[in-house]
């Protein structure tokens, strides 16, 4: 099933892109738990993460690891947390969240507000650090 994430991958709706390759796409979450909150998704529209074929599943985590290093270089944080939820968008994705407190890991805590300009600048800076 196609979701809003397919439209983002195809460029039909805009996103603050960090990186992509043939199989994966990484972009800033529009409603972040913390600055630098990033979503890493497979381009194939599979709903549940654990339903991905094993090769794609493993490669998605490798790709997320690479993106996490770039986020960690740019965003002051104690570490990068990883969550998998999927209750809102039924297209498999990994949340990478810079953590400074347990609250940053909470999806029911108040979200971080960022301006369009802040999103653009942050995405660019993280993108520049993806090796």
Q: Find the shortest distance in angstroms from Cβ 3 to ligand 5GP.
A: 9
CB 95 within 8 A of CB 84: yes
Residues that bind ligand 5GP in the complex, under the rule CB under 6 A: 4, 15, 27-31, 39, 85-89
> At CA 48, angle to CA 43 and CA 51, rounded to 5?
90
Q: Which two tokens stand for residue 62?
A: 């490798």
Closest approach, Cβ 48 to ligand 5GP, in A, equals: 11
Q: What are phi and psi of 75, to 5 degrees?
A: -100, 120
Q: Is 37 a catalytic residue?
A: no
In the bound state with ligand 5GP, the residue whose beta carbon lies nearer, of 39 and 77, is 39
| Catalytic machinery residues | 93
């Amino acid at each position: 099933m196609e979701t809003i994430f397919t439209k983002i991958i195809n460029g039909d709706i805009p996103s603050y892109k960090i990186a992509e390759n043939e199989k994966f796409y990484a972009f800033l979450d529009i409603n972040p738990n913390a600055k630098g909150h990033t979503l890493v998704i497979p381009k194939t529209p599979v709903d549940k993460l654990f339903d991905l074929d094993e090769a794609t599943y493993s490669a998605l985590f490798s790709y997320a690891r690479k993106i996490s290093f770039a986020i960690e270089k740019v965003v002051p944080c104690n570490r990068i947390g990883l969550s998998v939820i999927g209750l809102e968008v039924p297209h498999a994705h990994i949340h990478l969240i810079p953590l400074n407190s347990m609250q940053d890991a909470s999806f029911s805590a108040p979200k971080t507000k960022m301006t369009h300009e802040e999103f653009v600048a942050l995405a660019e800076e993280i993108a520049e650090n993806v090796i």
